[in-house]
Structure 1
Amino acid sequence: MPEIGSPEFVFWFRQAAPYIHAFRGRTFVVAFGGDLIRDGDFGPLAHDLNTLVSLGVNLVLVHGARPQINQRLEEAGLPLQLERGVRVTERDAIIPVLQAIGQVRFEIEAGLSMGLANSPMANADIRVAGGNFVTAQPMGVREGEDMQYTGEVRKLDVAAMRDRLEFGETILLSPVGYSPTGEAFNLTLEDVATTAAVALQADKLIFLLDQPGVVDEQGELVNELTAAEAEAYIPSERSTSSDLDFYLPCCIRAVRHGVKRAHLISRHMDGAMLTELFTHEGIGTMISREPLETLRRAIIDDIGGILALIEPLEEQGVLVKRSRELLEREIERFAVLEHDRKIIGCVSLHTFEEGEIAELAGLAVHPDYRDGGRGEQLLKHVEREARRLNIRKLFVLTTRTAHWFVERGFAPAEVDILPMKKKELYNWQRRSKVFIKTL
């Protein structure tokens, strides 16, 4: 993060403002393993969680306890048995398991209770809610192995959880559930977290893991995936050592069942969660049900976003200046390209009485997104719309981007070819070049 007071900090803070507004009152489920507690890294995470709470985010935390359970079982001389990466919990092991889970829970509650002056937790008011929210059932026999006291979530007391969240409390769920007969079952944190996120229809499901996120064949981080795209990264055979193998399928299931976004973020980078949530680029992998970018007809609420795109280009002389009032009158002519609720591109189509000719205008793409073919996407949208209206010719006036349009089939033309109304408004001082394309 840039140094406070620097222009970079001001820019970053302004970029974060839309997210701060959008996240207020939303529900996030954040899941992390017991290794984060074991390694002493919960303090910085507590600071970030406190930041989210202070911004009005409803938090549900789900913790694991695998290394703590392993230690307890080793001390008790009990075997560590895994079936495809999931612990087989024998009857003799359930007490050490519950003790380890309780130990981790107490450490988390203590970390969330900090309030030292001159620290990020100063004046923190995180009230932690817990209880028997999770009803469990035995996992049963899997591939010939009786999982015994390893269970899976049967249901959650969603009404009680919503009450706690509306009361301003942070819910802490442990990987343990209880059956109607009073038995306790050891659960996986990913099962608890995913079920909770789906049941609450959370806005985000966030997993903190050892890996930075999903990486491609070249070893590069993949920042965004749809659920369908993410399936290609699920290995045919699950590894017993990779968090990603367990969490990625859960992310896919969550977004397909109503969770808006799922995130995979490294637990090893300080502030990774805030960077992922409050910057456009992020730092992990975000998974959504549908593509994050949509091309749609503009509405009146988009005017602020359109102005933010075109005003820098107007100042450079690339586009003709338009007032807010003019945009309001012409908003139905615009289409916008939206990326995760942020407008990153716009274009407009102006028709005339002559009928067979129309103008492409106001084509702009945010500087951070200009290398992905989005300008061409907006151009093709206008061409499709023009054909739908039986328009045969499309023209554009430009001072700086002539080559871009020529490369896409536009040819130089004289001012005389313009419709009468446009010809009357032509600015001879600006001396825009005219290009035309037959559709």
Structure 2
Amino acid sequence: MHDYVNWFRHSTPYINTHRDCTFVVLLPGEAMAHPNFINIIHDVMLLNSLGVRLVLVHGSRPQIEERLKARGLDSRYHNDLRITDLDTLACVMDAVGSLRIAIEARLCTAPSGQRSRLRVVSGNFVTAKPIGVVDGVDFHHTGEVRRIDRKAISQHLDEQSIVLLSSIGYSPTGEVFNLACEDVATSAAAALNADKLILLGPDTGIFDADGQLLRELKPTRATALLKALGNSLPGSLLKAACKACDGGVRRSHIVSFAEDGAVLTELFTRDGGGTMVSQEAFEQIRPATIDDVAGLLELLRPLEEAGILVRRSREVLETEIGQFTLIERDSMIIGCAALYPLDDSRSGELACVAIDPDYRHGGRGDQLLASVEAQARKLGLDTLFVLTTRTAHWFRERGFVPSSVERLPAKRASLYNYQRNSKVFEKSIS
């Protein structure tokens, strides 16, 4: 009894710290098949009662394998991704639907003496896109996350509901895609600016080459571990934890789904019980200087080669460097945007918006846009124009509306490249 009272007293600071925080919890299919799963559900319910905002993401890999085997179908993979043809998709939908119902049923079971039930919400919160054809291999209905409906999820969290996401996503054209549960979890954590991503695996945490548990790990130290772990479940979880940190999630935790109370031990004790992956890297938005030209060239080159951005030479960048705003992380340029005031008008052109592919979650594009809009207002501008060929949807989602070449100031309109055929958008910032 004394140990229990002592533990409870020492957990109080953590209870206060975690209240009103947003946690994304990944439950792989292996976790749901383990006898300890019922205890995990009880711990989830306890976190909810303590005021933690919870998003649960569940996987289904072993359950899909069972259904494929039962139907006499083979599992096909390429680059460690499942190829989801129509027959496989039927097994995926069957497995995911059954697991979702099972989780909801468990969460609706009120603990002894508790009359109120938890509210569990699931739905089409994940917009997906197809992976398509890679190396000549058609992945059919295997997809990747395109967008997380942050606003809708946040509203349900505000109402103290638990949000349940599966490894299925939907396209705007009504197609269904099989997703990696790690992709859903990391994308959700980044989109929601989650305080923590909790990943449940088969082991206590991540171990070094000598078999010692790593209590804390920085993503920069994970390269050798990822290589050693390969495509195992612990390897996938560590990769997801590193990706989440790069996406702006401050801390990720890898704990065991086989150990009773592992989640609570990790969250409510000083030493924890698993592996915490944290990224405390310094990041800032600042004006560009001439010393940044080389870094800008490296950031922009892939987008220029893909035809997404207009190619800029080193000489042009050196001349126009004063127009650029950067995001710098650990002395590396990971994002940029340029503002060009347009002559004889109170408008400016937003150009060269780019984020390093490894850092495209976490709202950095929005931070750059806000910074550029603030600069434009200081210059007395009331309208921003942008010309784009491939990212129209991103700008439209941020208040830009379709415009035309005729709406551009005359001098800028005279430089319009009709061969490139960029779409013109504008936004009032007054």
TM-score interval, normalised by the smaller of the two chains: 0.5 to 0.7
1:332 aligned partner: none
Shift of 1:263: 0.5
Q: What SS class does the counterpart of residue 155 from structure 1 fall into?
A: strand
The reply on whether 1:125 has 2:117 as its aligned counterpart is: yes
- Structure 1: runs of 5+ lacking an equivalent: 292-439
The yes-or-no answer on 1:10 pairing with 2:5 is yes
**2:242 maps to amino acid:** I
**TM-score normalized with structure 2 length:** 0.63
User: 1:289-315: per-residue Cα shift (whole Å, max 9, x none)?
Assistant: 028xxxxxxxxxxxxxxxxxxxxxxxx
Please say which structure displays the higher CA radius of gyration.
1
**1:246 shift after superposition:** 1.1
Structure 2 equivalent of residue 66 of structure 1: 61
Counterpart position of 1:100: 95
Q: Distance in 1 between matches of 2:157 and 2:103?
A: 18
In the alignment, the residues of structure 2 paired with residue 50 and residue 266 of structure 1 have an alpha-carbon distance, to the nearest angstrom, of: 18
8 Å Cα contact 1:227-1:290 kept in structure 2: no
Partner SS, residue 280 of structure 1: coil
Aligned to 1:151: 143
Please point out which of 29, 34, 42 is paired with 2:29: 34
One-letter amino acid of the counterpart of residue 14, structure 1:
R
Counterpart of 2:186? 194
| Aligned with 2:82 (options 82, 87, 94) | 87
2:37–2:257 contact (8 Å) kept in structure 1: no
Evaluate the alpha carbon distance shift between residue 213 and residue 144 of structure 1 in structure 2; reply closer, same or farther with a 3 A threshold.
farther
Do the aligned residues in 1 keep the contact of 2:89 with 2:141 (CA within 8 Å)? yes
Q: 2:279 aligns with which of 286, 289, 303?
A: 289
Aligned-partner Cα distance in 2 for 1:222–1:216: 7
Whole-angstrom CA distance in 1 between matches of 2:86 and 2:32: 26
Moved more, 47-56 or 137-146: 137-146
2:331 maps to none
Asked whether the 8 Å contact 1:85–1:239 carries over to 2, the reply is: no
| Corresponding residue number in structure 2 for 1:141 | 133
Alpha-carbon separation, structure 2, partners of 1:42 and 1:126? 18
Which amino acid in structure 2 is aligned with residue 266 of structure 1? S
Counterpart-to-counterpart distance in 2, 1:97 and 1:112: 22
Superposed counterparts of 1:144-183, under 5 Å: 144-183=136-175
**Distance (Å, rounded) in 2 between the aligned partners of 1:66 and 1:137:** 20
% identical equivalent positions: 45
| Aligned amino acid, residue 40 of structure 2 | L
C-alpha change, 1:98 and 1:212, in structure 2 (3 Å) is: same
The residue number in structure 2 matching 1:254 is: 244
Q: Aligned match of 2:234 in 237, 240, 244?
A: 244
Query: Does the 8 Å contact 2:59/2:180 carry over to 1?
Result: yes
Q: 2:47 is matched with which residue: 24, 49, 52?
A: 52
Q: How far, CA to CA, are the matches of 2:202 and 2:184 in structure 1?
A: 19
**CA distance in structure 2 between the aligned counterparts of 1:244 and 1:117, rounded to whole angstroms:** 35
Mapped pair 1:222 → 2:222: no
How far residue 50 of structure 1 moved from its aligned partner, in angstroms, is 0.8
How far the C-alpha of 1:37 sits from its partner, in A, is 2.0
Measured against aligned partners, the alpha-carbon deviations of 1:353-376 in whole angstroms (never above 9, x if no partner) come to xxxxxxxxxxxxxxxxxxxxxxxx
In structure 1, the residue matched to 2:296 is none
Distance (whole Å) between structure 2 residues aligned to residue 67 and residue 155 of structure 1: 26
- TM-fit CA distance, 1:71: 1.3
Q: Which residue number corresponds to residue 202 of structure 2?
A: 210
Opposite residue 223 of structure 1, the aligned amino acid is R
Q: Does 1:267 align with 2:267?
A: no
Count of residues in correspondence between the two structures: 282
Shift of 1:116: 4.5
Task: Tell me, yes or no, if the aligned pair for 1:29 and 1:197 is still in contact at 8 Å.
Answer: yes
Query: Any gaps of 5 or more consecutive residues in structure 2?
Result: 282-430
**Structure 1 SS opposite 2:222:** helix
Counterpart amino acid of residue 125 in structure 2: F
| Partner Cα separation in structure 2 for residue 124 and residue 44 of structure 1 | 19
Contact kept in structure 2, 1:50 and 1:124, CA below 8 Å:
no
| SS, match of residue 203 in structure 2 | coil
* 8 Å CA contact retained: 2:109, 2:117: no
Structure 2: distance between partners of 1:211 and 1:83: 26
Distance 1:150 1:186 in 2: 5
- Amino acid corresponding to residue 196 of structure 2 in structure 1: K
CA distance in 1, matches of 2:137, 2:24: 31
Stretches of 4+ aligned residues off by more than 6 angstroms: none
